Structure 1
Amino acid sequence: MARKLTLDFLKTEAASGSALALAAIAAVLVANSPWSADYFTWLKSYHVLQIGPLRLEETISDWIKEGLMAIFFLVVGLEIKYEILRGELSDPKKLATPVLAAIGGMAGPAAVYLALTGLIGAPHQGWPIPLATDIAFALAIFGFVGKGLPSSLRIFLLTLAIVDDLGAIALIAVLFSEGVNWTPLLWAAAMLLVGAVAARRFQVAAPFWVLGFAAVWYLTVISGLSTSLTAVAFAAIVPIKARRETHQSPLKEAMHDLHPWNAYLVLPLFAFAKAGVSFAGLSMEQAFAPLVIAIALGLFLGKQAGVLAAAWLASALKIGARPSGASWMQVYGVSLLCGVGFTMSLFIGVLAFPGAVDSPEQIEVKLGVIGGSILSAVAAAVVLALAGRGREADPAAEEPDVEPLQGYGAQKVT
């Protein structure tokens, strides 16, 4: 039964990955078509949301990044909470491994980039760009090649990418933040604390959870902090214990309801908004500029080396454990996949090299990020596909000793 649920989930995730890939391809085509100006104008257009005295005015791009993607991070946070309490990550050693791998996955790209600044003269301020893993694209690629792989690998990737992303957010706050409005942020923290206490003492109805998340999200937006951070924090307070009257877990129920929206609306729309890169006026000299090479190699070489080395070291020192049922070849495939840095890397690039979207530095940042991400994605897909076939051919391959939650609500709630 557990195997069937896993395969059903991977089919669903592969289908959503197809939608994500098609949306990204469509964005690149539109950005390099006669409709390019309309596409970028649409992304920069402002739209207002007003409910009584509460008013927010953001661009379409920001509504998608800070609005819809908050739902994605909420669901990711819910899954990680389940795995920590009941699933693969309930073993502290298996939780330590992806956390340490994420740290290695940030140190590796930084080391490669900084080494190349001395060798080929890449601009020093670009070193944070290759540090982040794009969760959405990495999970989509894993969905394509996930058949035959242990589900623990996906949990390893998911946890690693979340820690990596939170590290990138902290880095942005330290290096590039112009200041956070602390008053609404403190209110959001207070609401999270009240929600955590209420969840332990009372049976909180679903509408109150929805309103609570909306309030925390609004306060985070006006504070100037990324909503991904508080979305994961809100997931941590959602109860995992089933309600007495319905025998349903609020956590599983939320994942079950939000999964289709995440898979077929949030992520494809996000890809369409963020993958549109214009290659107009590109020269060969610019395509192989020092900044392009340093970013691309930081993602492709630095990520795989840092993640794999940290995971192996954690296992060798007995402070961590390899994902259940996974081989080191499969872990290496996931390490390669962590080099897909697309969105957060592009965002950090804008902060590191401020200027017009068509400035030489911005074009080079996009080329480096896209090049490194494509190299990592192709290499990871090949390695994981081969590793998956090897496992499929071996019926005695070790299965996880715990039953993981099968993705974003693929498992029937209980």
Structure 2
Amino acid sequence: MAAKPTLVNRIVYSFELFQQVLSRGGTLTIVVALLALSWLNSPWGTAWLYLWENPLTIKFGTYGFARPIGFWVQQVLLALFYLALGLELKRAFRVGELKERHDKLFAMAAALGGILVPAALYLYLAPSAAQPGWSTVATADAAAVLALLALASNYLPLSLRVFVSATAIMQGIASLLLSVILYASIQNLLALSVATGVFGLLVVLRALRNRTMWLYLLSGLVMLVSFLLAGVQGAVAGVMLALVIPIYSRVNEEDFVTATDTVMGQLHALRMMKRPEPGEVMEEDFQAAAHTLRTNCTKALSPLRRLQQRLLPWAAYLALPLFALAFVPFAYNSFAWRDLLGPVPLGIFLALVLGKPIGMLLFAWLASLTGIARIPASVGWGQLTGGMLLLGAGFMLSLFQAQLAFTNEEQLTLVKISIYAASAVAALLGLLVLAVAGTKKELTNT
């Protein structure tokens, strides 16, 4: 006997779906990372090396663009992930949980502290490696943080989850854009001009209120290819495309509610008129009404919401796990333990574990003290501290930035281990603080 389908009887908001999918994707990514480590260090490790170094060629007529498979994972699939992050941040700021000025500024202040302080601490501890390595500690991984919050408790305030997610996304996007602006080596000015021209076209389309989704996606693909040819990270195209995706629907709320009530009223009138026997199903009328409601719902969804719903599972369940499979592993015998105390790995560890939460707390407290922002509703400073500690678990996006910043394989291995160690310590500290803060709040409420 088939299971009875469960219908949703409450409004499910966009952030709830985003949190659910991304936290599951973060958990899957951690599992894949552990499997990848085992694979590389097994007798079949050469197969891992061959897989990601094997070239994949994309041809446009007589022109071919050949790069290793790992390149396509890093540059194209991560662009999808950054597009998903950008869409969620835009939604939260424009129409969602952070649309109020005070809430928005509080998250922005904390994100700024989470970028500047750990970057400054890293540059102080590792002055000789000052180049783009700072971006490794300036970023944050929303997927890892949401997965950890799911482990912490199902009863943490929604405003805390939104705040932590938004600050992680802001840090991830800001560190990416800053590193590209400061350190990118442009290889093709013509391709860069095409990419910026396409973005300008998208801005014009957005100003004209054009909602033709295939046109945005096709233009985004051209912009991605142009950035890659210019030597710019593909993830930048994902962020820029998210900026121009329309966020409002053509259908207003009143028309949607009226049409839905009318269709349901017609279905109810048909049942009253035909008076079906108990257990008899008016299949044709029922399916026609359901199809009409589905058509109306599709039209009522904004372009941003439709794109996010379709894209997010691919970003969370494909892009992140494949990136972990390709770039997480390191050979256990490829480093000396004493080298982990060097200025670069030690600087990254301390910047993530200490610099990031201290910077976020300091800037958030100053913003609250001056009155330009306010702490999220129903969230205490103890819970906020726990969430900020979790943001030190940079994991995948810190690793992504490290891949771009460190070209020396031996140094990159040390950086990877430092990121993993910092993520583990930050996760443990954050979960412990959240557990204590939650217990204290429960005792206070009783």
Q: What is the TM-score normalised by the length of structure 2?
A: 0.77
> Which of 202, 209, 212 pairs up with 2:216?
209
Q: CA 1:5/1:196 → structure 2, altered by over 3 Å: closer, same or farther?
A: closer
Question: Equivalent residue of 1:276, what SS?
Answer: coil
Q: Which residue of 2 aligns with 1:411?
A: none
The alpha-carbon deviation at position 311 of structure 1 amounts to 1.1
Residue-by-residue CA offset, 1:216-270 (whole Å, 9 max, x unaligned):
2212221221222231221121112223472221111111112222222222222
- Secondary structure of 1:302's counterpart equals helix
Q: How does 1:280-359 map to 2 (within 5 A)?
A: 280-349=333-402, 353-355=406-408, 357=409, 359=410
Could you tell me how far apart the structure 2 residues matched to 1:347 and 1:148 are? 32
State the Cα deviation string for residues 162-181 of structure 1 (Å, max 9, x = none). Answer: 33233323443355433353
- Secondary structure of the residue aligned to 2:300 is coil
- Of the three residues 151, 176, 183, the one matched with 2:158 is 151
Correspondence 1:46 to 2:46? no
Distance (Å, rounded) in 1 between the aligned partners of 2:86 and 2:303: 14
Match of 2:255 in 1: none
Larger fraction in helix:
2
Higher mean C-alpha displacement, 1-10 vs 172-181: 1-10
Distance 1:47 1:394, change over 3 A: farther
Tell whether 2:70 aligns with 1:74: no
Q: Which residue number corresponds to residue 363 of structure 1?
A: 413
Distance (Å, rounded) in 2 between the aligned partners of 1:352 and 1:72: 20
Q: Pick one of 78, 94, 99 that aligns with 2:103.
A: 94
How many residues are matched? 390
Identity percentage of aligned residues: 29
- Shift, 1:203, TM fit: 4.6
Matches for 1:175-324 after TM superposition, within 5 Å: 176-179=183-186, 181-244=188-251, 246-324=299-377
Cα distance in 2, alignment partners of residues 202 and 309 from structure 1: 41
What whole-Å deviation, never above 9, does each CA across 1:179-213 have from its counterpart, x for those lacking one? 35333233223222322332343553332232122
Alpha-carbon distance change, 347 to 79 in structure 1, aligned in 2, over 3 angstroms: closer
Q: Does 1:161 align with 2:168?
A: yes
Does structure 2 conserve the Cα–Cα contact (< 8 Å) formed by 1:105 and 1:306? yes
> Which one of the candidate residues 12, 22, 26 is aligned to 1:17?
26
- Separation in structure 1 between the aligned mates of residue 325 and residue 441 of structure 2, nearest angstrom: 35
Matched residue type, 1:303? K
Q: Measure, in 2, the Cα distance between the counterparts of 1:127 and 1:242.
A: 40
- Could you report, residue by residue, the CA deviation over 1:106-125 in whole angstroms, capped at 9, with x for unpaired residues? 2222343344459xxx8566
Check whether the contact 2:185–2:232 (CA below 8 A) recurs between aligned residues: no
Q: Is the 8 A contact 2:18 2:312 kept in 1?
A: no
Distance in 2, matches of 1:13 and 1:333, equals 20
Superposed CA RMSD: 3.0
Distance 1:21 1:129, change over 3 A: closer
C-alpha distance in 1 between matches for 2:104 and 2:87: 15
2:92 maps to which residue?
A: 83
- Tell me if structure 1 keeps the 8 A contact 2:141–2:169: no
Residue identity in the other structure for 2:423: S
